[in-house]
Structure 1
Amino acid sequence: MSVRCPDLPFLPGYTFNPNIGRTKFNVDPKFDFIGKGNRALVEKVKPNMFGPLSDKYPSIYPRGECVELPGWIVFDKQILTFDAFFQETLEEVKGSPFQIRKVKIYYFLEDGTIQVVEPKVENSGIAQGTLICRQRIRLPAPMDANFYDIIDFNVGKEIEFYGRVFKITNCDKFTRTFLNRCGIAVPDPSVTPTDPYLNIREHERDAMQPRKPNRAVDTLGKFLENDKKVLHFLAYWDDHDTEYGYIHNLEIRYYLADDTIEIKELQSESGGEPGFIFLRRGKLPKVYKELPTPGADTDYTILNVLGSALTSRRFIVDPLNCGKEKVDYYTDKDLSIGAVLNCYNRRIVLIDCDQFTRDYYSAKYGISEFNPLPLPDSEKEVNEIPPPKERELPPWNGFGTHEDSAQNCLTVDPKPPHRDFKKFLMYDRDGLDSHILRFQARLKSKIPENCDRIFIISYYLTDDTISVYEVGRSNSGFKSSMFLARDKVKLPGQKVFSSKPPECYTAQHMFIGATLIINGFEFILTDADEYALRFMELNCTMFPQSDIKKIMDKVREKLKPIYKDFVKENLPEETPQMSYEKLRAKLCRIMGSDFTEHEMVTISRAFNAVCYNERYDRDKIRAIALTELKRFLWDDLDRLREYFLQRDATRSGKLSRKDCYTLLKACRLPFDSELINRILDVIQKDDDCNLLYDDLLRFLDRNYCPTRDVPPINIKYNLWWGSEREPKVGTMIDWCAFNKYLNLESTFKEVIGEDTLKALQKKYKKEGDGEGEDNKGHEEENEEEENDANVAGCH
């Protein structure tokens, strides 16, 4: 041990070693009493070398009697310890307005710093430990210029640290001895008041202590008693509410060992697979809301998982099972004949049981009657099925089409809208049959220039789309262009943002005289092409304006009361024909607004009186053909006859049109294709449209009925089928055919008389005979059609 002067630095040369010059280093022995009657050898206390007093407690002696040392050396590791408490207000705990918190106050003598520590108590529910870290603390205001000193601490005093009041109740032995030697009297320890919160916890220890999460239920006894005991029931499920539903025959098995249910489907009338497991074995809940979430049906609830490694993980379990929901399951007391089970929202009716089940219920519940129930009548149930509900979609938001929006609502994966494929195959273009109805239209507008514009409206039957094309007229200011691209056109007056798809124009809206509103423009259909009129007449069930039978029935009902006046007023005097405009004016006045322009067009086409004479008949075509043969010096008729006989192996005297065309080309006849086709058109045919080649050979023989030569003509143009334009059908109407179809001849005879009627028919017949020999065949056809009450007139 070295001695140094505190005024000098702690460096070599400034310290004094008392062992220098010492030769004896033994310890002086000293015997003393340790306890009562126990002598022992203890270390002898040496006096202070700088004074007669010991240096063990230098701080309690007056100044000057010992060497003055700094405080951080003299009071090193010397701490005054006090027991204290403070009161904390509680607002959440009922019956405990505050709680008592015990602390330890440490006063470090070496530098006058203070530390407050609260000992940790297990399961306290509050954060404990160091409340005030080691530091010098000022006195409360208005004495906050000074710091706490040793004289401020004593048992029974109240001190305030940062607004919190601590009351000292006790101190340790070293503190009490140190204060007493300093002349400070230390009172006896005081009693710490009881904590009301701790009293509540002690009285309610059972409620506050955690419960065991695993509550095992002993089911071994029930299993041993009821093992291999199963209740069997027969039941059915009526699934007629669905589209292809039927009655399911089921077998229900209830296992008494663990109260589980298994449902098996038996052979049914619909041919279902026998032995199909309808419901796997398990407990069946009485009320089904939704499928349980993962972990909802476990025995306990895990609140948190602590730890990162798999081996050191631990779980915090909810001891109260706050989130667990009580579920009622079916038991044996809920099963009986006639009972209805709710099997996940499926209504299952029990109708019968086996003998073991009957004995079980008879012994346990005293039931004696077990009357089986019959199965329901499947046909009766089918008739009582309510119509399926239509799926409601959200309203259209204005983006894209209604079909695209509907597909996005039906499926998560967007798919293109379904097309009516059957309609596409039925009305797709097939050769010259385009299935496009074209109408001529004009624009109804307040601007005079727009009223003179001509439009062609095309209706496509394959997908119910409409296109509008404007036909430009010279000096009109409008050129020929597409007015509206092909698309579906919505009917006016509909809600734009609606969940239902909009109604569009259909084929039934297209007829002469109809008004179409397309994008705000009002179009009036004024005419139709021949293909559209012919298609609508052939499909008159789809187009009532083209059904001549319905139209004439409607006209007949209107003309019955006024038929006499109608005949007197409109009876033709010179010819049996009447103009379209005259009959239209009379019928429109009688029929009223219910009579459309298209119906009048149908009447005019049905009773057409316009005769059509071909420019080139059989004799003219034969003269042209013989002239061509003479010009090109062709005279090989015998070889052509041999070819015909060779091709006709059965000697039937007829060949197909294709074979005849091939043979004429093979014999190098100097004919153009148009002339050959016109020749084959006038050759005699049988019922199967096969050509009689003997007539064809006589047709090409110059010696048979010779004809005069004709000047050469442009065969490609003059004999082309489109070179001569047919007259428009319906400009003139056959009056006699129209009246005969009305079938009101009795009234007609009463008006003009029978003799006058016969005279008119005779006159009309003579005028018809004057048309020439070419029209005889047409007149015979007209007579047959009149006898059948069908369409009359020359076509």
Structure 2
Amino acid sequence: MCYRSPDLPFLPGFTFNSNLGRTKFNMDPKFEHLGPGIRALKEKVKPNMLGILSDKYPSIYPRGEATEIPAWLCFDKQILVFEGFFQETLQEYRAAPFIVRKVKIFFYLEDGTIQVIEPKVKNSGISQGTLISRSRIRFPDPMSENFYDILDFNIGREVEFYGRVFKITQCDEFTRNFLNRCGIAVPDPIVEPSDPYLEQRKAEGDGTQPKKPNRSVDIRGKFLENDRKVLRFKCYWDDRKTQFGYIHNLEVLFYLADDTVEINEKHEESSGLPNFCFLKRTKLPKVYKGLPAPGCDAPNTILNVLGQSFNKRYTVDPLDCGKEVTEYYSEKDFSIGGTLNCYGRNIVIIDCDMFTKDYFSKNYGLEELIPIDAPKNKIEIVAKERKLPPWNGFGSYEDTVQNCISVQPKAPHRDFKKFLSYDRDGMDSHILRFEARLVSKNDINCTRSFIISYFLTDDTIQVNEIAKDNSGFKTSCFFQRCPVKLPGQRVFSSEAPLYYTPQHMFIGATLIINGFQFVLINADEYALRFMELNPTIYPKANIEVIMEKVRDKLVPIYKDFVAENIPNEAPTISYDALRSKLCRIMGKDFTEHEMITIARAFSAVCTKERYDREKVRALALTELKRFLWDDWVRLREYLMQRDPERTGLLSQKDVYTVLKACRIPFDNNLIDKMLEVSKKDEQCNVYYMDVLNFLDRRICPPPDVIPVNVKSELWWGLDRDADPSLLIDWCAFNKHLNLEESFKQPVTDKDVKYLEQKRLI
């Protein structure tokens, strides 16, 4: 760049070129520390020796008071924003001599550049946007040697950029704070003058000529807000006035996304009526006047401007002359007890679901929506039963039914669900076996022993004889497996016969099979255990029902009943003694099976389990060692994931699921046995940390054991219960009766002596 001396004229030959004799033209950068631990590339700026380009205004901060940081780093991304306007003359519009155009002035502090932008205004007719691109702007003549700086901008001042004068009226908060910190006072904002052109347009209206109407409806926002939100109402339509009409139970679905309605007909499964779609999803008009003519549903009305001439011209009618508005049902038209007009059919709303109640409560303030009852059909549709002819004696009754239903004979259908429920599963055979005695006038037949097996899969009975040595009989099948009818029924009848059910099988029951009378005198352990595990199906094995019967009988004589056992001073009582007492009190309603259930529930004889906790742990660790399973981390992670509250407890089902998910190489019986011996709380929830310690070999490792067949060794049937015919816990029996509160007075010595004298007599 050339510099000149102010004393010499600016003519060729009178200027000095600073590059004469210079050999190095590159920049001289260097790294300097801008702060603690901050290094930046900084240029060396040579001092202005001539002083020609001296600043117009002094520096904001005195030298030495502020850190020497380059402006591009100190004021990076810091912009002063001013709002202003300028007036532009209108030559072609007589009513308004000028127009006011609003602008924004940006002053970039890093390099002193200025940018002017005019915000876009809709339908202004002016090409708006960036008026002056970002650059340094000089002062107008005669001060064109200098550039605009920060001190030249303030509210109320006018600046001239390239011939246009801009009046500054306002600035943002950052600009105001920055100028105040620099010691520059910023006045209050100035009110901008009104625009006569815009006022004239508002007085005349937004456009003197008719425009194309904008009838677009924003349905996207409503769809995004209410997608998958459906109001569900329970309704009915009374069609009994017509021939063969009835009450139609309907379900109305109102979709909030697009205000459409769908109606389905719902019936009970036992009604015999099909469910079908009553009305497909569509908008439901409030008043139906027939199908619309072609073009009536169009959003716009087209007008022919030039008539029937050759050059036809069409335009859109902005006034919609003659257009009919169709009203459709909305969410506000639905209420309990209200009526919907579905193309001439009056549908009455009687109830709604919980989401619909919450929606109306939240949006319309309806707290209670009380449902109403729908009328009932006078004529109920009943399925006609097919009357079959009586049994002809060939085959079974089921064979006769199948032959009457179809021309081609088919085998009777089997109860497949029952078969799947009671099919054999490991050691669980679902066969109830009872020991029976034959009742006969012949004394030899009375000594014969029989085993009656009841198969739960198909309710069939099989009788096998177990012969004794030198009895003259052999062990064989006495009665082949088949259903057995109850005695006392008509043989040749069209009604389905009744068969023996599991409820007829209990100790003490009498069965008549093929003319022979059997009395059940005993049952195996599996039958007793199975019936006790299903007390709702087998009332003879339900200890709660039995004790309730005993409690009702003992209420008036409980004092004498308890006092009879006081002289013995023993916490136990024999099976025969308690049986004799209960049989005398209960009478014929008390069966032998119920007595055995009481003896098993309150047995006083203790038995030792074949596999305790240590044996089960040794067997489990041996299985883990055999299959090389060591996924401890995932097992602990899954168990803790099931317990987000960190209580340390999980249900047995959750622990069982996690063990199976971690592919632990245990049989189901071994897992059940391990959970049985694990530590539990009062609600039978398992401490899963005890399960982890149970499977950890590092904690008290037991010696390895010989692998066994887990299915057979851990079967519950091998751990036989104590013989109920030995002793019964008298204290536990009385505690379960819970009749002490009815007799608060204790038994005295006089009562004991009276009972002893009565016994001697």
Superposition TM-score tier, normalisation by shorter sequence: 0.3 to 0.5
Please tell me whether Structure 1 or Structure 2 has the larger radius of gyration of its CA atoms: 1
Give the structure-2-normalised TM-score.
0.41
